[in-house]
């Protein structure tokens, strides 16, 4: 499935769920901490939501996070293509399939060389643990910048605004575990 079609699909699901629950953009912004402009861009497919953003949106919409990632095409090819999701800055593969309704989720994340999150930082209730399998990354938590190299890890409060950036000259690979109460 093409990236743009995938993003539009996720955005359409988010918008439909918001409208079904009769949530205004203002209410959604207040519940998630995202700006109305960011929500509009996600719903229209202009912006790809991060894992943390999807968790925030699914919690606010009272949906299993897997619902927002579910593909309408159930063919074997579509399911294989859907396994690795892409955002604007990285690809993530769920490592805990079937855990959509659980509080703990694990992902393998590949961040392109020199890539970073643009716009607002990630922020979602819970905790996060990142382990760098390969590469050099910066994880900014609030105003504090943590530099991690291969084999290093970080555990932090994901309720604090945070960003991930690859500071190396090749793609970085991480295992990220998110706990969302």
**Side-chain half-sphere CA neighbours of 106 within 13 A:** 6
Whether residue 7 is predicted with pLDDT greater than 50 in this model: the reply is no
Domain ranges of the chain: 3-69, 89-179
Whether residue 146 is predicted with pLDDT greater than 50 in this model: the reply is yes
**144 dihedral zone (left: phi>0; alpha: psi -120 to 50; beta):** beta
Question: Which of 27, 61, 64, 34 has the alpha carbon at shortest distance from 50?
Answer: 34
Instruction: Report DSSP letters for 144-174, one per residue.
Output: EEEEE-TT-EEEEETTS-EEEEE-SSS-EEE
Distance (Å, whole) CA 33 – CA 41: 15
Distance (Å, whole) CA 166 – CA 115: 6
Question: Which of 135, 158, 155 has the alpha carbon at shortest distance from 146?
Answer: 155
Q: Report the b/e string of 67-79 with b at 16+ CB within 10 A.
A: ebbeeeeeeeeee
Question: Which of 64, 29, 68 has the alpha carbon at shortest distance from 180?
Answer: 64
Question: What is the dotted CATH code of the domain comprising 89-179?
Answer: 2.60.120.10
Please return the burial class of 132, using the count of CB atoms within 10 Å of its CB with bins 0-12, 13-18 and 19+.
buried
**Per-residue pLDDT tens digits for 76-111:** 344 334 444 555 566 778 887 776 667 888 889 998
- With H, G, I as helix, E, B as strand and everything else as coil, classify residue 138: strand
High-pLDDT (> 90) share of the chain, % = 33
Structural fold of domain 3-69:
434 Repressor (Amino-terminal Domain) (1.10.260)
Residue 119 is predicted with a pLDDT of: 45
pLDDT band at 145 (very low <50, low <70, confident <90, very high): very high
């Amino acid at each position: 499935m093409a990236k743009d079609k995938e993003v539009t699909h996720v955005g359409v699901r988010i918008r439909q769920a918001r409208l079904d629950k009769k949530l205004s953009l203002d209410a959604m912004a207040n519940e998630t901490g995202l700006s109305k402009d960011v929500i509009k861009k996600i719903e229209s497919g202009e912006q790809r939501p991060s894992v943390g953003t999807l968790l925030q949106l699914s919690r606010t919409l009272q949906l299993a996070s897997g619902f927002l990632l579910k593909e309408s095409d159930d063919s074997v090819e579509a399911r294989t293509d859907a396994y690795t999701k892409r955002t604007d800055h990285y690809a993530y593969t769920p490592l805990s399939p079937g855990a959509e309704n659980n509080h703990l989720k694990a992902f393998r994340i590949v961040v392109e060389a020199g890539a970073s999150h643009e716009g607002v930082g990630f922020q979602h209730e819970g905790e996060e643990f990142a382990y760098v399998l390969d590469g050099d990354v910066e994880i900014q938590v609030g105003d504090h910048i943590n530099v991690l190299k291969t084999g290093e890890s970080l555990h932090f409060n994901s309720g604090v605004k945070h960003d991930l950036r690859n500071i190396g000259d090749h793609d970085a690979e991480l295992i990220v575990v998110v706990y969302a109460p």
